[in-house]
């Protein structure tokens, strides 16, 4: 699809861009990630280009800039995904995900809601069962391994053990309290899903929550207490 020329300059409020992001086309002051679908020369930031996703997986390309990946992979995860380590999209460069976590309007504005309606024909929701909310905290999960899995309505990507995890809120590093609250606020949905499967699933969820606390360097007891308070509220 031919891309229309954008007369808007890149917004001066954005953090310094890695060279590969600085080379992307610009729309309304924002670099357009490589994965975004274009319609009649205009990008729709809400829509992922399925063909590019396939190329990213097949050719090991970054979803943000389209360049070839190296040894390290980064996933942009919501805080809940620190528990199950699942991403609805394949990995990207560490520096691309880190910049996105500090610059993407949806990620840096906790009160922002994704605009619904008017999606182009053929639009498809992301694979799996996502939690429709803005958690206010974005994670940059850096690893050297991941595993794709066909879940029927597409692929999910299970991130391997992390080399490091960075947490951001409103474009800055998030505090432990902010990360804890972001996880706890969405935990009831995971809890109800596990409860419907029985005690074994609840025990596994508790184990995974403990592992998430270790990875994120949080107080595991405080995290579990905050989560259960939300469940019981």
C-alpha distances out from residue 62 to 65, 122, 136, Å: 6, 24, 24
Dihedral, 205, 209, 210, 215 alpha carbons, nearest 10:
140
Whole-number pLDDT of residue 6: 53
> Mean pLDDT of all residues in the chain?
88
Per residue in 159-190, pLDDT (tens digit) is 999 999 999 999 999 999 999 999 999 999 99
Cα–Cα distance, 19 to 4 (Å, whole number) = 22
Q: CA-to-CA distance for 81 and 209, rounded, in angstroms?
A: 10
Q: What is the pLDDT of residues 77-126, one digit of tens each?
A: 999 999 999 999 999 999 999 999 999 888 777 655 555 555 555 445 44
H or E element that contains 166: strand 162-169
């Amino acid at each position: 699809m031919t891309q229309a020329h954008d007369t808007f300059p890149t917004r001066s409020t954005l953090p310094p861009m890695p060279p590969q992001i600085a080379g992307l086309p610009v729309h309304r002051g924002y670099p357009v990630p490589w994965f975004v679908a274009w319609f009649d020369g205009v990008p729709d930031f809400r829509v992922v280009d399925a063909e590019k996703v396939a190329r990213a997986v097949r050719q090991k390309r970054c979803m943000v800039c389209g360049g070839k990946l190296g040894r390290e992979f980064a996933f942009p995860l919501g805080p809940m995904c620190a528990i199950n380590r699942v991403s609805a999209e394949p990995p990207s460069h560490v520096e691309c995900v880190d910049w996105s976590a500090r610059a993407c309007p949806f990620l840096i504005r906790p009160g922002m809601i994704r605009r619904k309606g008017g999606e182009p024909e053929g639009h498809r929701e992301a694979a799996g069962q996502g939690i429709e909310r803005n958690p206010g905290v974005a994670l940059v999960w850096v690893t050297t391994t991941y595993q794709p899995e066909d879940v029927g309505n597409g692929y999910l990507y299970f991130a391997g053990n992390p080399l490091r995890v960075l947490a951001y809120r409103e474009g800055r590093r998030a505090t432990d309290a902010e990360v804890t609250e972001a996880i706890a606020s969405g935990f009831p949905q995971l809890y109800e899903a596990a409860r419907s499967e029985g005690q074994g699933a609840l025990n596994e969820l508790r184990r995974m929550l403990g592992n998430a606390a270790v990875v994120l360097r949080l107080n595991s007891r405080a995290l579990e207490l905050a989560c259960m308070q939300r469940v019981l509220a």
